[in-house]
Chain A
Amino acid sequence: MSEQQAPGGTAAEPRPTADAPADANLVPLAELAPAITAVSVSRRAFLGFGLAVAGGVAGAAALASFFPVFAEETQAASPIVPTYDPTGKQWAFVVDTSSCIGCGLCVAACKEENNIPEEPEYTRTWVERHTITTDGAMYVDSPDGGINGFPPESTAPGAAGKPVQDAYFMPRLCMQCTNSPCTAVCPVGATYKTEDGVILVDARRCIGCGYCVVACPYGARYLVPAGGRAPNDTPGVADKCTWCYHRITKGQQPACVEVCPVGARKFGDAADPNSEISKVIAEQQPQPYRPEYGTGPRVLYAGPVTQES
């Protein structure tokens, strides 16, 4: 003890001796040894922990390099045209159910344009026939998604043979909701909204959990099956209508709009008061379909479907 300086002691202070310890509260170093050892172990553990964390982060970064898509700040996996300026755009889509003739050309055009699987259950857009019989019942059918048109009588179970009071066709597609549940529930941010409000799926990030498919109240999503045609040549991921984002960003119309022979589908920039879509909205006062879901659908419907309860 006499050879060692007390903790906290300085050279100017008298060195304690065995006869006259400087301070009774001072603990001999030998007795401190276990505590010092414990401190050093803790420090070592702390350093080890720090190294482990740093190593983990470095390892994760190294592994992430195998998946560069997750390291990117932007989500520009969509076919965005570099020269396209989304600022101020208010894309709007109006469907006139009083004009649609159920020919199915829109469905075929969409499948061709976007390399959609041929099976009818996998589709970005489809046409429904709403049949109201004289007893007040409504039947909805969509054989093969309407791609081949419709037979004279409804194919819905229970509708056969019943006298028809009214019928109309209703084209369906992603509503590009302002309060979209699909973007909210995606656990990896693969479904996202562009600056101009169009909802896209990053096929490189999607894990194929199907949460967005279940979350969509309009049934507008599906998981791309394996073994056939696939948008972006990526099977297993969620897919939906993009309003043909690769076309509208180049100033073109969506494929379904362009091919419609009766103009039942209208698309344009509602921010431009002189555009055709602005005039259609002003004249026909189209309504969102099933607004009670609270998702703020941006596809608007005109015609008899707006009377549907």
Chain B
Amino acid sequence: MQATVHPLSVRILQYEVPLAPKPLARAVVAEIRSMPLALQAWLGFLLAVIAVATIAALVSIPPGWEVFGTSPSFEWGLMIVGYVVFAIMTSGLCLSSSLGTVFGIERFRPFEKRHCVLAILSLTMAFLIIALDLHYPIRMVFGAVLVPSPSSPMWWMGVFYGTYLVILLVEVWSMFTPHPKIHMYSCAAAATVAIFAPMTLGAVFGVLGAKAYFNGIWTPITMVASAFLAGTALLGIVFYAVHRFKLADWQHAASIALPSVRVLLLAGFAVVAALLVRQVAVGLGSDIRGLREATTALVAGPLAPMFWLRVMGGLFIPVMLLLLPVHRRTEAIAAASFLALAGVALDRFVFVMAGQIAPISAGAGTVSYPFASYAPSMVEITIMGGAAAIMALGYTLAERYLDMGESDTHMFLPFPWIKKHDETDEGRTHHLAEPSEPKPAAAVVVGATLGEAAARTAPAAVVTQGVES
């Protein structure tokens, strides 16, 4: 069947997208109609959330920053928490998947394409949130470039995360085009920056001598551990969706990807729990001004409900789900992943709150002694929801229109004991370049139009139209 080529169109990957308004509208409508009802409802829900969040974002655009719940005694609120969560999630995605992409460990290779797309979306959301939080974001771009401040951890954080985004874009480009060698180096670079970036983000808090709870070398370490847990948890959620909805390479989701997620989650939980115990023990026993007050507020003060919810719901229950025999069910790993991600988000929230809750002065009567108070406004909450919805929308579209099946990964720093591709057991049939296993991924059809792609009846369906005449 000859692919229809519109006179005014642009080729995006294997799709010929018309640019003229009417053909484009027709193609989009045809595409939407071809979607299953559940997918239509899901996209509709996401678009509705994004629409509401867009209004909230417009309200908060300078000089509308007064709509946030922050105050001079509590300057960092939910927007900073959101930035931190999305930023560290990006790093975590690369950290956990680097075991496959950089070190060539077979069982982690299914992460490759999906982690990369998720990482770009996540980092973009982090930048979007911080841009809305800053009062003069344009100045930041010029100021950071033209007046570098190497003494500021925030400046270094910008350097690393800015570099990170470029590397991730190269990684995705080289993966889908494909350029194997560039992809190999970009994977290694992304994994390296994935360590430095959350460490500098942790240093933003860690250098603050004014905030004893933030202060110290353990904050960057905790940030990296949280990043690893968050990224792995997101992979767990995504691969459960891949398994549940039979998306590209779904056969490997339950057999390889989710068990790998389980192993990584357990390792992440162990490290995060150890760091949490250390922080509470040291904080309660400390005589450093502000540290004991903050820790007390965390375990038995105004932050206690959220803290214990985080400990029980975000640590204890998911660990049990992963350790008990129920872990053999994919639903258990998915639930543990969801709880882990929610736990990290809550953990970063109470972290940012605890650091500022100990008042440093009577501050013009604004401090509700003995603890400072902050409650996020609806605008902040809505923007967070919008960021999550944009990410989910972007990823849903990526699953539908990109080939998200496994690709050739390139062992860069293989451990000596890792088997090479051709040495793997025959039972491990998920060889990345396995030609015998047809990929149920979205179309690989050069010249297919968006409207023709719409002929598919399910997200994972293979587009059958070819380019033959």
Q: Does B364 lie within 8 Å of A142, measured CB to CB?
A: yes
Q: Does A187 lie within 8 Å of B152, measured CB to CB?
A: yes
Q: Which of A206, A211, A218, A219 contacts B136 (CB 8 A)?
A: A206
Query: How far does the alpha carbon of A65 sit from the alpha carbon of B144 in the complex, in Å?
Result: 15
Interface size of A by CB at 8 A reads: 61
* Interface hit among A44-52, A118-126, A278-286: A118-126
Query: How far does the alpha carbon of A144 sit from the alpha carbon of B138 in the complex, in Å?
Result: 35
Q: Which of A141, A218, A226, A294 contacts B360 (CB 8 A)?
A: A218
Contact of B323 with A by CB under 8 A: no
Q: Which of B142, B359, B365 contacts A143 (CB 8 A)?
A: B365
Using A143-B365, A236-B62, A293-B210 as known contacts, say yes or no to A185 and B72 having CB atoms under 8 A apart: no
Per-residue contact bits, chain A 275-309, to B (CB 8 Å; 1 contact, 0 not)? 00000000000000010111100000000000000
Q: Does B153 lie within 8 Å of A120, measured CB to CB?
A: no
The B interface is mostly helix, strand or loop, or mixed, namely loop
Q: Which residues of B contact A219 (CB under 8 A)?
A: 72-73, 359-361, 363
Q: Does A187 lie within 8 Å of B136, measured CB to CB?
A: no
CB B290 to nearest CB in A, in angstroms, measures 9
Q: Does B362 lie within 8 Å of A70, measured CB to CB?
A: no
Q: Which residues of A contact B362 (CB under 8 A)?
A: 126, 128, 140-142, 156
CB B46 to nearest CB in A, in angstroms, measures 30
Q: Which residue of A has the minimal Cβ distance to B370?
A: A157
* Interface hit among B10-18, B63-71, B223-231: B63-71
Q: Does B64 lie within 8 Å of A226, measured CB to CB?
A: yes
CB B117 to nearest CB in A, in angstroms, measures 26
Q: Which of B66, B145, B158 contacts A227 (CB 8 A)?
A: B66
Q: Does A207 lie within 8 Å of B136, measured CB to CB?
A: yes
Q: Which of A209-232 contact B (CB under 8 A)?
A: 209-211, 213-219, 221-223, 225-227
Query: How far does the alpha carbon of A145 sit from the alpha carbon of B154 in the complex, in Å?
Result: 31
CB B157 to nearest CB in A, in angstroms, measures 8
CB B411 to nearest CB in A, in angstroms, measures 26
Contact of A184 with B by CB under 8 A: yes
24 A-B pairs within 8 Å (CB atoms) are namely A63-B142, A70-B146, A120-B366, A121-B71, A122-B364, A142-B363, A144-B365, A145-B364, A155-B365, A172-B361, A183-B151, A184-B207, A185-B152, A187-B144, A207-B135, A208-B135, A209-B140, A209-B154, A210-B70, A214-B356, A215-B209, A222-B72, A223-B135, A236-B65
Binding site for B on A (CB under 8 A): 60, 63-64, 67, 70-71, 120-123, 126, 128, 139-146, 155-157, 172, 181, 183-190, 205-211, 213-219, 221-223, 225-227, 235-237, 290, 292-295
Besides A141-B369, A189-B149, A295-B209, 17 more A-B contacts (Cβ < 8 Å) are A70-B146, A121-B366, A128-B362, A140-B369, A141-B362, A157-B368, A186-B152, A187-B154, A187-B158, A189-B143, A207-B143, A208-B65, A211-B154, A214-B356, A219-B361, A293-B209, A294-B209
